[in-house]
Amino acid sequence: MSPLSINDFPEHFTWGVATSAFQIEGAADADGKGPSIWDDFCRVPGVIADASDGRQACEHYQRWADDLDLVADLGVDAYRFSISWPRVQPLGSGAFNEAGFAFYERLVDGMLARGLKPFLTLNHWDLPSALQARGGWENRDTVQCFVDYACEVARRLGDRVTSICTHNEPWVIAVLGHESGIFAPGIKSRAAAIQVAHHLFLSHGLALSAMRAQGCKADMGIVLNLAPINAATDAEADQAAARRADGGGLRWYVEPLLKGEYPADVLQELGADAPRILPGDMASIQVPLDFLGVNYYMRSVVSAGEPWDLKTSGNEITDMGWEVYPQGLTELLLRLHRDYTLPPIFITENGAAFPDEVINQQVHDSQRQRYIARHIAATLEAMRQGVRVDGYFVWSLLDNFEWSSGYAKRFGIVRVDYDTQARSLKDSALWYRNFLTSKRKPGN
Ligand code: FCB
């Protein structure tokens, strides 16, 4: 394989790093911010591995200017961040919080001043608690609340941001939040999860239409976590299990958005758990996307019987217990390209947690560096085979609050010392910067 070079990517390709509000901001009740379902969830005993919470996190709310300097210093084009809904609208409906909006105005203006393109996400999971008290995403009324919130954000920031993503990973909100219950709000019901997914799709479509009707010109789309789903063996039972998993995990999320329909086989299997769909919903969901964000971490291997044993793959495993499988990203992109009419794709998250070794302030995270390089190469391979990919974002800029894993799992290319809040570039960040700055200047 020839060495990876940024010059193999088209000139317009966007390179970035990503974070989300709850995972880095801290300042959980500063300046009028309301509580979110993640603030509440962290108080439930036993649900966060290290019993931590997001109250302080990376203190990004205070340290945002230094953090943006770091982003700019990496040489990336863009920064993907999210807005904490309860920071700008404490109850999720009604009054907006000026101090909250002032923070994001400073942040967005700070990006522009540093030549960074703002990629904004409206919902990276921290729903206002007041809405959860009324049923949260299970309640259809939350759809209109989200549309109102989206329109207000677009009105204030829409002329300054490059792109607006409605939801980050509806599958996680639906399934981990409402079926397995290991994420906020911790509900355990398949019917709830299915209804939640429907309301997320609906609110996405309605928000896009409403923001566009208001004249917002930012690129608009959604971010899905997707994986190729491989059967553990050729046996018919394993193949059938993989088809079912693909139906529930990929087609259920892609097809309403791109085809305006749910996959019939999955609907049938859901039986009484099928969503309540009102006339017009599917047309509202299927609005044209300016982009589809894909978050990729690993493939999924499915078997009918015993759970598949990761160790038998022989591949490296990250600190999350996730298999390193870069060719899965190529497979996934080719499959999406083959089966659907796609808008431009952005890899909106890709990265890995590894237990970092710190020697004399230096973090030699060669596994993370290799992980990122191999997945950039896998993206390029799909592009060579005809898939249009317009950008790639590393998850994550900083070590941060990794949801139910707390602070123990580190995804940052920048290390955070949680005692002092000092940031230091890991080797992976130095590598990324070196990769990005080796770009041939036009005309050379
Ligand atoms: C994704 C989330 C992101 C982060 C990574 C590791 O599912 O979008 O916030 O937790 O996983």
Q: Report pLDDT digits (tens) over 76-131.
A: 999 999 999 999 999 999 999 999 999 999 999 999 999 999 999 999 999 999 99
- Predicted confidence band of residue 2 (pLDDT cuts 50, 70, 90): low
Phi and psi at residue 139, in whole multiples of 5°?
A: -90, 125
Residue 185 exposed, middle or buried by CB count within 10 Å (0-12, 13-18, 19+): buried
Q: Which of 25, 169, 179, 255 is catalytic?
A: 169
- Predicted confidence band of residue 302 (pLDDT cuts 50, 70, 90): very high
Q: Domain for residue 119, yes or no?
A: yes
Q: Of ligand 1's atoms, which has the minimum distance to the CA of residue 402?
A: 10
Give the pLDDT mean for 153-158: 98
pTM of the predicted model over 0.85: yes
Instruction: Calculate the average pLDDT of the chain.
Output: 97
Ligand 1 center from residue 273 Cα (angstroms): 27
- Predicted confidence band of residue 360 (pLDDT cuts 50, 70, 90): confident
Structure tokens at 342: 């796609």
Give the pLDDT mean for 352-363: 92
- 16-61 pLDDT tens trace: 999 999 999 999 999 999 999 999 999 999 999 999 999 999 999 9
Ligand 1 center from residue 370 Cα (angstroms): 19
Residue 195 and residue 281: Cα distance in Å, rounded?
Answer: 13
Residue 380 CB contacts under 8 Å (≥ 6 apart), including other chains: 4, 8, 9
Residue 184 and residue 403: Cα distance in Å, rounded?
Answer: 9
Residue 441 and residue 253: Cα distance in Å, rounded?
Answer: 40
Residue to mutate, 226, 395, 399, ligand 1, most ligand atoms under 8 Å from C-beta? 395
Residue 268 and residue 272: Cα distance in Å, rounded?
Answer: 9
For the cut 90, the answer to whether the pLDDT of residue 310 exceeds it is no
* Number of other CB atoms surrounding residue 197 within 10 Å: 23
Residue 233 exposed, middle or buried by CB count within 10 Å (0-12, 13-18, 19+): middle
Residue 146 and residue 175: Cα distance in Å, rounded?
Answer: 20
CATH number at residue 134: 3.20.20.80
For the cut 80, the answer to whether the pLDDT of residue 440 exceeds it is no
Ligand 1 center from residue 361 Cα (angstroms): 26
Q: Which of 323, 349, 381, 402 is catalytic?
A: 349
Q: Show the domain range for 102.
A: 6-436
Structure tokens at 262: 């749910």
- Predicted confidence band of residue 327 (pLDDT cuts 50, 70, 90): very high
Q: Of ligand 1's atoms, which has the minimum distance to the CA of residue 169?
A: 8
For the cut 70, the answer to whether the pLDDT of residue 293 exceeds it is yes
394, 351 contact by CB (below 8 A): yes
Ligand 1 center from residue 261 Cα (angstroms): 27
Give the pLDDT mean for 258-262: 98
Say what percent of the chain tops pLDDT 70.
99
Ligand 1 center from residue 84 Cα (angstroms): 15
Q: Of ligand 1's atoms, which has the minimum distance to the CA of residue 20?
A: 9
Q: Domain for residue 444, yes or no?
A: no
- 380-402 pLDDT tens trace: 999 999 999 999 999 999 999 99
349 is catalytic: yes
Q: Please report which residue ranges of 158-280 form alpha helices under DSSP H.
A: 170-171, 177-178, 190-213, 236-246, 252-259, 264-270
Q: Domain for residue 160, yes or no?
A: yes
Among 37-51, 102-116, 163-177, 307-321, name the one with the lowest average pLDDT.
Answer: 307-321
Residue 427 exposed, middle or buried by CB count within 10 Å (0-12, 13-18, 19+): middle
For the cut 90, the answer to whether the pLDDT of residue 1 exceeds it is no
Ligand 1 center from residue 360 Cα (angstroms): 29
94, 121 contact by CB (below 8 A): no
399, 70 contact by CB (below 8 A): no
List residues near ligand 1 (CB under 6 A): 20, 23, 168-169, 172, 225, 295, 349, 395, 402-403, 411
Q: Domain for residue 64, yes or no?
A: yes
Ligand 1 center from residue 183 Cα (angstroms): 12
Ligand 1 center from residue 297 Cα (angstroms): 9
- Predicted confidence band of residue 442 (pLDDT cuts 50, 70, 90): low
Q: What is the pLDDT of residue 375?
A: 98
- 198-257 pLDDT tens trace: 999 999 999 999 999 999 999 999 999 999 999 999 999 999 999 999 999 999 999 999
- Predicted confidence band of residue 439 (pLDDT cuts 50, 70, 90): confident
Residue to mutate, 38, 84, 349, ligand 1, most ligand atoms under 8 Å from C-beta? 349
92, 37 contact by CB (below 8 A): no
Q: Domain for residue 443, yes or no?
A: no
47, 81 contact by CB (below 8 A): no
Q: Domain for residue 265, yes or no?
A: yes
381 is catalytic: no
Cα torsion 287, 395, 10, 77 to 10°: value is: 90
Q: Domain for residue 31, yes or no?
A: yes
For the cut 80, the answer to whether the pLDDT of residue 176 exceeds it is yes
| Shortest-distance Cα residue to atom 10 of ligand 1 | 402
Structure tokens at 275: 């969503």
Q: Domain for residue 1, yes or no?
A: no
Residue with tokens 């996680």: 172
How many domains is the chain built from?
1
Residue to mutate, 402, 405, 409, ligand 1, most ligand atoms under 8 Å from C-beta? 402
Residue to mutate, 169, 294, 347, 401, ligand 1, most ligand atoms under 8 Å from C-beta? 169
